[in-house]
Amino acid sequence: MIIQKTFRYRLEPTRAQGQLFARFAGCCRYVFNMALAARKMAYDQAGKTLSFVDQCRSLTELKKAGGTEWLAEVHSQVLQQAVKDLDAAYQHFFRRVKQGEAPGFPRFKKKGVKDSFRYSQGIKVRDRHVYLPKIGWVRFRNSRPIEGKIQQATVKRDGDHWFVCFSCEMGVPDPVHPSGSAVGIDLGVVIFASLSDGTQIKPLGSFRKHEARLAQAQRKLSRKRKRSRNIKKLEAKVKRFQTHIANARKDFLHKISTTLCKNHAVIVIEDLNVKGMSASAKGSVEVPGRNVRAKSGLNKSILDQGWAMFRSMLAYKARWLGGQVIAISPANTSRTCPACGEVDADNRKTQAEFRCVHCGHADQADVNAARNILRAGLARLACLAAKAAESQAQGSNLLQGVLAGTTLASAMPGIPRL
């Protein structure tokens, strides 16, 4: 099996190298914006778009043109990667249009926001140094060994520091998960994750913990005059807050997702529409919204959880370990009784209590939902395994291992073996 892994390290550039990093990132931003403007102009004038190959050819002319000859100081592949990023953005845009989703048109890049540049060849690593073409050997904190073959290296600014990310590819034997257990996960705001085995994980709330201090720094920044002496200091302070919040959230999600993927062969989660759940309640002038302040606070808490990032982590970590992640519809998972199967809105007495009005079964509401999620996921896995039985797919073997586990029956009372 071929897998891709990314290894991220903090760079320790000299003052001159740091200036080169900023210059390279600025040149990539300029090329990206110029290429986007050219595509828009071509479509407005002729109803056609420009291809990646056409725009790469124009880079040579752009380097020789008056006023932009400074682009020649940057390695050609770095500029080509900027055009490639734009082409990928267009491909994603057209894909969303075809699928009927709400498309987001590619936007111009802003200075100081996600500054980065990428190499696809010519990268060398020696001890604690990495060689970047037209920059030279740069020291980095080699905190762990790099595995596999380096395909590309991305240099990006995160807060006050520069980092290098090595995208590596490696071949590994097809993994077989050591566990035969399955777990359902119900995600929430008050409780981050409730598991079908009764375990509940409290949320970190990294944004909420620092919201007041971040808002204070942002207010001070908004009052400053442009190009004032202290505006750069305040901008750096705001970025430090935002970086700290993001890093704390990532660390929290990495630890939980790693533990779950190591302990369970099958993980079932809800296919949540986070964008719809966190939509604004302001409404319009004709139809004003209701409970706008409360909904705004709920939206912040939802986005602070990082559900989409958590699902992505579960997916690739489970694949590395030989497990599987299944996403099911969240409809009626909190209203269904796992004992008798009845669906009734009155079953959910309070936010924390579930009591079936038909058979009297009682449980913690979120744990009950997690058990319903697991049941739906196992039913889907059984269908997939039945369809793939003739070709002896891995899904069949995985299902047999899960159903043979001794913990499944005790974790799911009232659910018959399939």
Q: For residue 186, give the nearest of 418, 364, 401 by alpha carbon.
A: 364
- Are the beta carbons of 269 and 326 closer than 8 angstroms? yes
- Please identify which of the residues 186, 197, 304, 363 carries the catalytic annotation: 186
What is the per-residue DSSP string for 197-226?
Answer: TS-EE----HHHHHHHHHHHHHHHHHHSPT
- Please identify which of the residues 87, 115, 197, 270 carries the catalytic annotation: 270
CA distances from 102 to 99, 261, 306, 322, 403 (A): 9, 32, 21, 34, 40
What whole-number distance in Å separates Cα of residue 395 and Cα of residue 383?
Answer: 10
How many of the other CB atoms lie within 10 Å of CB of 169? 14
3-state helix, strand, coil in the chain (%, to 5): 45, 20, 35
- Please identify which of the residues 115, 197, 304, 366 carries the catalytic annotation: 366
CA distances from 21 to 32, 36, 153 (A): 17, 23, 13
Active site residue 353: no
CA distances from 383 to 106, 140, 378, 395, 418 (A): 40, 49, 9, 10, 11
What is the per-residue DSSP string for 352-408?
Answer: SEEE-TTT--EEEHHHHHHHHHHHHHHHHHHHHHHHTTTTT-HHHHHHHHHHT-SHH
Beta strand 324-328 with 266-270 is parallel
What whole-number distance in Å separates Cα of residue 168 and Cα of residue 170?
Answer: 7
Element (DSSP H or E) covering residue 125: strand 124-126
Active site residue 211: no
Active site residue 54: no
Helical segments of 47-149, H only? 52-64, 76-98
What whole-number distance in Å separates Cα of residue 299 and Cα of residue 279?
Answer: 7
- Are the beta carbons of 115 and 157 closer than 8 angstroms? yes
Tell me which residues are annotated as active site: 186, 270, 366
